[in-house]
Amino acid sequence: MKKQYCIANWKMNKSFHDCEEFVTKLNNEFIYNGSEMVICPSFIHLNRMKFLTKNIKIDIGSQTISENKNGAYTGEISAEMLTDINIKYSIIGHSERRHLFNEKDIAIRNKIFNAARNQIKPILCIGETLKERKSNQTNEVLKMQIKIACETANFIDDNIIIAYEPVWAIGTGVAADLDTISKTHEQIRAFLPTFLKKSENISILYGGSVNNDNCRDIINLNDVDGFLIGGAALDAQMFLNIYNKMN
C-alpha cells in the first residue's frame, strides 16, 4: 500500500537546544493521522532526536549517507553506522548535494545501494534545473536520474521514496504551479515501472517551497503522496500545520 509522508529536511540548521524545543512542541501536539512524519536533522543530532521522539510515531532520517561501505573516508558516515543507531530513512541525491558538492549520479547509485542493503529506505531526490525545463528536457532528466540511481539495487522493490524537487523551486519561496506538479508526477508515475519493481506502492513526494498556504492544494493532486520540506519545516508549528492538512 502506498503511504503518505511529511518529511522535514533541516539541512545545516538547528542547535541541540533547538531540537529539544521542536520535539517538546511535537510531544505536546502531534497526533498521528495516517501519514508518516520523518525528520532529517544533521548527523550529530540523529541519536538525540531518536531518543527525544521515542514516545511518538515519528521517524528520524539522515540527510545523506556515504557512497562507501567503510574504510579510510575521513568525515564520512556509512549506512551501517546509521543502521547501528536504528535510522530507517536517508535523503539521497538532494539537489544541494548534487550541485554544491558535485555529487554525481554514480555516487548516488552507490548510496542507494548501501542504504537499501542496510534496510534504510532511501528518499531519492530528483529534479530538473530551470534551463532543462525550458528546453523540454524534464522527463529525460528525471528518467535518467531514477534509472542510474536504481540500476544496481534491483532488490529494492518498493523500499524507496521518490521526492520530485524541481531545482528552481527549492528555497525560492515559489513552488512549482499545480499544473506542473500534477503533470510531472503523472509522468514519473508512468515511467517508474520501467525502473522499479512493485512501483505501484512507491510514494512520490513533492518538494520545493511547500508551505502552509500551498500544501493543501498540492496534496489534493493525483499522484502526490506527500512532501519533502526545507524552510517551512524549521518551525514546529508550521510543520505541524502542514502535516495536519494532509489527512
Residues recognised as catalytic: 94, 165
**Orientation of helix 138-150 relative to helix 105-117, angle to 10°:** 50
Q: Which residue is nearest to ligand PGA (CB)?
A: 230
Binding mask 128-167 for ligand PGA (x = CB under 6 A): -------------------------------------x--
Residue 170 binds ligand PGA, judged by CB under 6 A:
yes
The residue within the footprint of ligand PGA, chosen from 45, 208, 214, 240 (CB under 6 A), is: 208
Residue 171 binds ligand PGA, judged by CB under 6 A:
yes
Tell me the residue ranges of DSSP E strands in the chain. 5-9, 36-40, 58-62, 89-92, 121-126, 161-164, 204-207, 226-229
Q: Are the C-beta atoms of 161 and 122 separated by less than 8 Å?
A: yes
Q: Which is nearer to ligand PGA, 29 or 235 (CB)?
A: 235
End-to-end, the C-alpha distance of the chain in Å comes to: 16
The residue within the footprint of ligand PGA, chosen from 103, 207, 223, 236 (CB under 6 A), is: 207
Measure Cα distances from 238 to 121, 123, 172, 212 in Å: 25, 22, 17, 7
Kindly list the residues in this chain that would bind ligand PGA in the complex (CB under 6 A). 9, 165, 170-171, 207-210, 228-232
